[in-house]
Chains A and B, each alone.
Chain A
Amino acid sequence: GNSVTQMEGPVTLSEEAFLTINCTYTATGYPSLFWYVQYPGEGLQLLLKATKADDKGSNKGFEATYRKETTSFHLEKGSVQVSDSAVYFCALTSNAGGTSYGKLTFGQGTILTVHP
């Protein structure tokens, strides 16, 4: 079955530091990959996505590249802000356009805290 593994948290950084949150996956076929962010007490917001190998998703200074050869989708940001403090989830779904598309498998989440 599908699985997603994220780096252990929590991650604590100073403002303007470089961020990397590792994510690797196991899936059959060619999944679509996502990063979601969850702020305290809120639901999920899509941060970025990539639907095929070598695609780079980007949003709000965050980037992640779909690496099929290493089955990875690591999240990076060059300079984090206090407002980036949240929980980040890596997720995948199989078969874009197929009937199972949308059934997301989530990683365990990584808590990010950014200090001024």
Chain B
Amino acid sequence: GAVVSQHPSWVICKSGTSVKIECRSLDFQATTMFWYRQFPKQSLMLMATSNEGSKATYEQGVEKDKFLINHASLTLSTLTVTSAHPEDSSFYICSARTAGSGNTIYFGEGSWLTVV
């Protein structure tokens, strides 16, 4: 079946540095991917919609200059957390939508980010 892969699964970075998280659809083309954030013991909040070949659409309150999203191909979207701070530590998870009628949503395994 369709699989969405995220990398890295977990990452630790120093404050002030940037970190990139990749989301790949392994056996289908995904013109649209979504990025969510989950704080410990809380629900998932949509951050942005990533559209292949165009700018991402950010949800209200999400800093687009801090959370850079690039969807350069039909199988890859990246989320870059720039100038990371400890409050950016969170679980980031992506999903990808298959194309066509009856489209289905698949989630990646998620990426744990810890900023120290």
Measuring CB to CB, which residues of chain A are less than 8 angstroms from any residue of chain B?
36, 42-46, 89, 93, 96-97, 99, 101-109
Contacts and interface: CB of A to CB of B under 8 A. Distances in A.
Contacts of A99: 32
Interface of B: 6, 32, 34, 36, 42-46, 49, 93, 95, 97, 101-103, 105-110
Given A43-B108, A46-B105, A101-B97, 12 more contacts: A44-B44, A89-B43, A96-B103, A97-B102, A102-B32, A102-B103, A104-B36, A104-B46, A104-B95, A105-B46, A106-B44, A106-B45
A101 B110 CA distance: 21
Contact of A104 (B34, B42, B102): B34
Nearest to A111: B41
A102 B97 contact: yes
Nearest to A105: B46
B33 to A, nearest CB: 9
Contacts of B36: 104
A38 B10 CA distance: 17
A41 B108 CA distance: 13
Interface of B is mostly: strand
Contacts of A108: 42-43
B43 A93 contact: no
Contact of B105 (A42, A93, A109): A93
A103 B93 contact: no
Given A102-B97, A108-B42, A44 B107 contact: yes
Contacts of B107: 36, 43-46
A107 B105 contact: no
